[in-house]
Amino acid sequence: MSATMTSTSAATYRPRMSDQDWRRIATWGGLCALFLILVSLIGMPVGLDRRILIHPVLSLGYLSLLWIPLVLGYVVSKHVVLEGMAAPEPGARDLVTGLVTGAIGGVGLAVLLLGIDNFNIRDPLVNWSPQLLSLLTYERSLGFGAVACIAICAFLGLVGSSIHVVPATVRRVVSFAAYGLLLVSVLESAISDLSEGFGLEWLTDIMFAKRGGLTLISSVVLALLLGVLSVVFGGRVKSATTRYRELEGLERQRASTILFVVVAALCIVLPLFLGTIMNELLANVGLFLLLALGLNIVVGLAGILDLGYVAFFAVGGYTTAVLTSADSPFFAPELHFGITLVIVVVIAGITGLVIGAPVIRMRGDYLAIVTLGFGEIIRLLFMSDWLKPYFGGAQGITNVPGVDLGFATIKGTDPRSVFYLVLVFCALAIYISWRLQVSRLGRAWMAIREDEQVAEAMGINTVNTKLLAFVVGAILASFSGAILVAKVGSVFPNSFMILVSIIILVVVIVGGMGNILGVLVGSFVLIGVLGGPRQPGLLQEFQTFKLLIYGALLVFMMLKRPEGLVPSARRSQELHQEEFLQDVWLKGEDHEAEEASEHAAETGPGGDEPPT
């Protein structure tokens, strides 16, 4: 069996150099040029140029252009290999494909340079600017700039296509080093913050240049280090995770406990060494994680596409503000945060029921539109003159006290304390999501998501079950709202724009729907790195382009990886198991076949009874 397998995979042919698919190259090259011009004209290179990644050579602005020929060079030279069909052997031909594609993109950029130099259309195109010109020409002559653009883009296209050609080990080492460098330079502020906390400033002083960014020497050293690391540890991480997955019963439990203790200890200890900005960032990530976990139950498990989720966030926030603030305009009992929280749960639950009851009988698109409306209605109600005597209208409610714990007060000026509060609630929300997911109720939610009509026919009261999902989601969101208000010390209707709902939904989708780990990763990547609707992330420079990137990411994920960044463990485990079982089965069959042939040889032809 193995012989035939190798023979099918070895069925390749060596394509001739001249055998190029020029139409494909032209398409992708054109696309490359289009992307480069688009990114230039929306102002990314100039806007992001201040953030330096590697001191004299690479800024985030340049990176916003350079990835395009690289990725497109990779894509254009990739071949779809059909099962059982002969595949072209990767080689010099593919390199030429990538090179030409990149060069066409570079020509596009060069044309843009000529255009900027000769015409002035800054009126409609704000970024049609001399700054862009000087950036793209490296502050030299136009001719130099044009040639440099074409050469660099062609080179990057070549590098992109060479990914298919080089041996797998080289590919792994280089990509690991590149990803590592990118990560370190992006996380610069976090790393320096952390090293300050540990008293290791000297290390970051060596690593990073004064104006920000890795120095050239340290990036080379780091790349080498990462390359060595990938050789030494290559494959070990993967085998460790598979080993962990194959553990069973008590051992599995023990391994999980250790993992849990380590993660918990990290979460508790790490913030002590972090500065204000990083703690603030983590607290924001936590707040959005809390929201995303709630929405994950509604959308990911029960399949109810709720676009007005921000409503419950607002209800939690306003309830807390009214009950704790001394400046609440109508009713100011100034309760303690702990008592408030109980009332918040009740009110959020009731709101969930009230909004859910009419909405829940609808399906799909109708439901999405109606919830979208309810999300806005709640915000507009808080903003309205009608309810101004109760909620303060556009001025909101200010002077909300922090959380008094007796020995300490949790409030926004001390982000570390807020982080710990958020951590507790996130842990609670993760526990709730996890337990519900593997319960009778969680299974019913999943069944409704899969096929509502059949779920109903299998004895599930779909209306009540969906309402329950709505209510649980509402309660988790209201926790987040309550903490946000206690943290910020005030509440305004404009903190609850529709954008919040959409960003949480993107976090859930990009992370991986119905998957707690996916939601975790999604909130760290999106809120932590890119930033929330108002909260800056690690790449603060992206503020202006955040929505564009969110949108692009969403489209990309829907097309290429609808299961999210972290596909559910079950699926990959299942596939692994399937392969394994298939192997066993194939071996078994081989064995039987051998036996059968031996048997046939013994008895001779025609000795067996014909099969019935």
Partner 1 sequence: MSHLLEIRNLKITFGGLDALSGLDFHVDEGEIVSVIGPNGAGKTTFFNAITGMVEPADGDIIFEGDSIRGLEPHQVTGLGIARTFQNVRLFPNMTVLENIMVAQHCRTSQLVFGALLQTRAFKREEEEIRARAENVLGFFGSRLIGYRLEQPAFVLSYANRRRLEIARAMATQPRLLLLDEPVAGMNPMETAELTQLIGKLRTEWGFTIVMIEHDMRVVRDVSDRVVVLDHGIPIAHGSYDEVSTNPDVIEAYLGRPAERHA
* Residues 391, 125: Cα–Cα separation, whole Å: 43
Closest approach, Cβ 114 to partner 1, in A, equals 53
Closest approach, Cβ 352 to partner 1, in A, equals 13
Q: Write the DSSP string, 358-414.
A: HHTTS-HHHHHHHHHHHHHHHHHHHHSSTTHHHH-GGG-B-----EE-SS-EE-TTS
Does the protein bind partner 1 through residue 443 (CB under 8 A)? yes
Binding mask 566-585 for partner 1 (x = CB under 8 A): ----xx--x--xx--x----
* Residue 340 phi, psi (nearest 5): -55, -40
3-state SS of 218-269 is: HHHHHHHHHHHHHHHHCCHHHHHHHHHHHCCHHHHHHHHHHHHHHHHHHHHH
Residue 45 or 442 having the CB closest to partner 1? 442
Closest approach, Cβ 521 to partner 1, in A, equals 20
Interaction with partner 1 in 357-396: which residues (CB under 8 A)?
none
In contact, 180 and 226? CB cutoff 8 Å: yes
* Residues 208, 218: Cα–Cα separation, whole Å: 8
* Residue 551 phi, psi (nearest 5): -65, -45
Residue 118 or 612 having the CB closest to partner 1? 612
Stretch that binds partner 1, among 50-58, 96-104, 316-324, 444-452 (CB under 8 A): 444-452
Stretch that binds partner 1, among 43-51, 365-373, 438-446, 603-611 (CB under 8 A): 438-446
Residue 9 or 461 having the CB closest to partner 1? 461
**3-class state of residue 477 by DSSP:** helix
Does the protein bind partner 1 through residue 95 (CB under 8 A)? no
Residue 276 or 461 having the CB closest to partner 1? 461
Residue 233 or 431 having the CB closest to partner 1? 431
Does the protein bind partner 1 through residue 432 (CB under 8 A)? yes
Residue 106 or 303 having the CB closest to partner 1? 303
Closest approach, Cβ 468 to partner 1, in A, equals 7
Instruction: Give the H or E element holding residue 490.
Output: none
Does the protein bind partner 1 through residue 248 (CB under 8 A)? no
Closest approach, Cβ 351 to partner 1, in A, equals 18
Interaction with partner 1 in 162-181: which residues (CB under 8 A)?
none
Q: Site for partner 1 (CB under 8 A): which residue of 456, 488, 535, 549?
A: 456
Q: Which residues of 134-145 are buried (b: 16+ CB within 10 A; e: fewer)?
A: ebbbeeeebeeb
Of 478, 448, 450, the residue nearest 463 (C-alpha): 448
Of 511, 481, 522, 477, the residue nearest 371 (C-alpha): 477
Residue 569 identity (one-letter amino acid): A
474 token code pair? 């509402």
Does the protein bind partner 1 through residue 436 (CB under 8 A)? yes
In contact, 340 and 324? CB cutoff 8 Å: yes
Interaction with partner 1 in 458-477: which residues (CB under 8 A)?
458-462, 468, 472
* Residues 343, 333: Cα–Cα separation, whole Å: 13
Q: Site for partner 1 (CB under 8 A): which residue of 447, 506, 520, 521?
A: 447
How many of the chain's residues bind partner 1 (CB under 8 A)? 33
Stretch that binds partner 1, among 21-29, 95-103, 144-152, 439-447 (CB under 8 A): 439-447
Name the residues that contact partner 1, by CB under 8 A.
431-432, 435-436, 438-444, 446-447, 450-451, 453-462, 468, 472, 570-571, 574, 577-578, 581
